[in-house]
Structure 1
Amino acid sequence: MKYLASNLKYLRTEFLLSQKKLGERINISASSIGCYEKERSTPSLRNIQKLSTTFGVDIDTLLHVDLTTEHREISREGKNIRVLPIVVESDNKEKASIVPAKAAAGYTEGYAEPQFVSSLVNFDLPFPELQKEQTYRVFQITGDSMLPIKNNSYVITSYLQNWRDVKFGSCYIVLTKEDGIVFKRIEKSESTHRLRMTSDNDQYDPYEIHINDIKEIWVAKGIIDFDLDS
């Protein structure tokens, strides 16, 4: 943990967050953030994981690489993939949030507000296939662009910290500035600063988005469908 304190202060400053605002993001006090930055105390593993998710920096880098001298593209990429509000229980256990179709517009417009995420239905995902240390969210999709996945199905997703970790050809929920929430298969673009969005329904043409338009990327893990008879 040689560089945790200096990296934390550096990243918090890069993201234009006060100690209070960062504390609100991960559900701890501003004084705790201050103690971490001054090396008066060490965050728990769970809080280190939350800091890693918040800043889009893997844990090993956060702890062992001096980001103040590396000057890598972490902060610039991290600002594109936004600071993520989450909901935790009193025992610090993170819950998954459901974003139904009727809340999609509010999610897009109020994405920076932890209060909005707290107002959603939040619950535990008991499936053994899902890793407990990841952040999960469930999005209800609309339309037929990803058939055979049907309209109004729910997509179980896990948060992707960095768009560079996209596995081309896989399905993702993407929150963009222009189009809001979209469910697409991401393919490689000829441009290093764009991603190609494709539909499984060939009636829809593919299109490309610039990485600066991306606010969140969620990896599709599973589908919940309540319309089994159609």
Structure 2
Amino acid sequence: MENAIVIKRFTEVRRDLGFTQAEFAETLGIPSTTADIERGRTRLTGKVVAELLRLYRINPLWLYGESNKRFLDTDAVSVMPKVVSVDSAEKENILLVNAKAAAGYPQNIQDTSWYRQLPAFDLPLPQFRNASYRGFQVEGDSMLPNLKPEDWVLARGIENWDDINPNRFYVIVLKDAVVVKKMEKIPGSDRVRLISLNASYAPYEISTEDIQEVWLVSSKITFGIETTTENGLLRELKQSMEDLKEKLGVS
């Protein structure tokens, strides 16, 4: 079943636009009517979410209850997450994208059903609340010495270019790849410069039109931390990390 926030907001959009369920279905390319979606029997597909954005500027994050901004300026490049995932309690999950999954991520970025194959996780820390986070596995050695191949980074979704800081690391979802780089805006142009830490890799420029999402790297997952004192939160965190290791297949 679709979650209650999505149902409420999808129905709200239809009513505000003045469509019947059959008319709205025809507009969005949905067979028959939107009744099953509004009753929670059918989930929204990535195609429907994309049509809502294209036709009516509906912000996907607002639709899923992750933003108060209902409309987007579609003339500007949007770098915010296209899909969010929630658990049975409607708390957002941290989805884990390993190197193999990253190969298909750009092509499936708006397909909500594709995300169901990804392991989902939650960390009981305040730093990972009230924002969209995703875990990505580092591939290659371009960010040495800070990030090694097969490391994992946890990254927060950002909404616009004003949040870009040239001193931070980002996960950048392009149309054909997922990369971890530093990023600089090039003044007076629609291009950005992607920078590796490893001097063997030269910086290169891309158009902002080639970018689908940008995630700000906030931390790196590290295993094997030992401690002699465990309070309640630390025990919960340790168990969460053990669960994460199991999901990732780490011994």
| TM-score, normalised by the number of residues in structure 2 | 0.62
Higher percent of residues as strand: 1
Picking from 125, 128, 138, the partner of 2:126 is 128
Whether 1:206 aligns to 2:214 is no
After superposing the two structures, state which structure 1 stretch, 83-92 or 214-223, moved more. 83-92
1:109 counterpart (99, 107, 110): 107
List gaps (5 residues or longer) in structure 1: 1-22, 40-49, 68-72
Q: Structure 2 CA distance, aligned partners of 1:76 and 1:224?
A: 36
d(CA) in 2 for partners of 1:194 and 1:151?
Answer: 27
Would you say the 8 A contact 1:88–1:94 is kept in 2?
A: yes
* Cα root mean square deviation, aligned: 3.1
Cα–Cα, structure 1 residues 104 and 139, in superposed 2: closer, same or farther, change >3 Å? same
Partner of 2:76: 77
State the match for 2:11 in structure 1: 34
| Contact in 1 for aligned 2:184/2:192 (Cα 8 Å) | yes
Equivalent position amino acid for 1:35 in 2? E
Computing the radius of gyration over CA atoms, which structure comes out larger, 1 or 2?
2
* Number of equivalenced pairs: 181
Residue aligned with 2:113, SS: helix
SS state at 2:209 partner: helix
| 2:157 alignment partner, one of 156, 159, 163 | 159
CA contact (8 A) 1:156 1:222 kept: yes
Residue aligning to 1:16: none
TM-score normalised by length of structure 1: 0.68
CA distance in 2 between counterparts of 1:157 and 1:142 reads 15
Q: Equivalent pairs: percent with the same residue? A: 30
Q: Is the partner of 2:93 in helix, strand or coil?
A: strand
Q: What whole-Å deviation, never above 9, does each CA across 1:183-219 have from its counterpart, x for those lacking one?
A: 0001232443111100011110000111111100000
Tell me the CA shift for residue 92 of structure 1: 1.4
Tell me if structure 2 keeps the 8 A contact 1:95–1:123: yes
* 2:144 aligned to which of 139, 142, 147: 147
Residue from 181, 185, 204 that aligns with 2:182: 185
